[in-house]
């Protein structure tokens, strides 16, 4: 397990990866949108913090309640009842809803448990579901951050999820992962 005490590396890595995503999408006329729940718009904020993002970022929604997920994104009531709001299926329907709503090539959907309360034995705090889609392809992952990191808090869960979502966007869109210089040695950043 890694300690998640210092978020400097995570936030710097989010910035590096997001700049690469914005540049790649801008250069290749690819558009992006987001549908976020537990991250509360952090992915959209990371993207719009980059100058020139308006060329590729169409918009994002923060749908915190099941009602808004259904009303704004078209998440099916049956999906929520069968799989719960914290599921791959809901993340997938959220990203699809954002893609349709904004008419974008790429979309991200995120739902999960950032804590500190709300977790269960089956789905502890730090369980997050992320969907990244590009046109007709999709990657959906269950993040079990509680298994990877010690001393997680709400802020760190949200930041790590934002980072993973941006890495998944790189993966689904074929964007080369950036290299960060660590002193004299270069290393691909994978947190």
Q: Which domains does the chain have, with CATH numbers?
A: 2-188 (3.90.950.20)
Q: Is residue 25 a contact partner of residue 56, using CB atoms and an 8 Å limit?
A: yes
Residue 185 clears pLDDT 80, i.e. is over it: no
The span from the CA of 31 to the CA of 8, in Å, is 28
Residue 189 clears pLDDT 70, i.e. is over it: no
Residue 186 clears pLDDT 70, i.e. is over it: no
* Tokens describing residue 101: 């709503």
Backbone torsions φ then ψ of 121, nearest 5 degrees: -60, -40
- Give the pLDDT band (50/70/90) at residue 151: confident
pLDDT for 150 equals 85
Residue 173 clears pLDDT 60, i.e. is over it: yes
Q: Which residue has the higher pLDDT, 77 or 188?
A: 77
Model pTM above 0.75:
yes
Contacts of 62 (CB under 8 A, 6+ apart): 36, 37, 40, 41, 44
| Residue % of the chain over a pLDDT of 70 | 90
- Give the pLDDT band (50/70/90) at residue 179: low
- Beta strands 57-62; 106-112: pairing state: unpaired
Backbone torsions φ then ψ of 64, nearest 5 degrees: -90, -25
pLDDT 10s digits, 49-86: 999 999 999 999 999 999 999 999 999 999 999 999 99
- Give the pLDDT band (50/70/90) at residue 48: very high
């Amino acid at each position: 397990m890694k300690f998640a005490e210092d978020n400097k590396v995570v936030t710097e890595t989010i910035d590096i990866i997001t700049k690469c995503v914005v540049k790649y999408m801008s250069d290749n006329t690819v558009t992006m949108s987001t549908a976020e729940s537990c991250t509360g718009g952090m992915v959209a904020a990371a993207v719009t913090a980059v100058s020139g993002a308006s060329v590729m970022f169409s918009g994002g929604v923060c749908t915190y309640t099941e009602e808004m997920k259904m009303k704004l994104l078209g998440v099916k009531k049956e999906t929520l009842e069968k799989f719960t709001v914290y599921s791959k299926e809901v993340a997938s329907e959220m990203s699809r809803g954002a893609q349709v709503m904004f008419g974008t090539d790429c979309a991200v959907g995120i739902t999960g448990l950032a804590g500190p309360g709300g977790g269960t034995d089956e789905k502890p705090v730090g369980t997050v579901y992320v969907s990244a889609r590009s046109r007709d392809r999709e990657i959906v992952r269950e993040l079990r951050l509680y298994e990877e990191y010690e001393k997680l808090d709400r802020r760190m869960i949200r930041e790590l999820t934002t980072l993973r979502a941006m890495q998944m966007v790189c993966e689904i869109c074929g964007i080369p992962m950036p290299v960060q210089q660590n002193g004299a040695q270069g290393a691909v950043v994978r947190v």
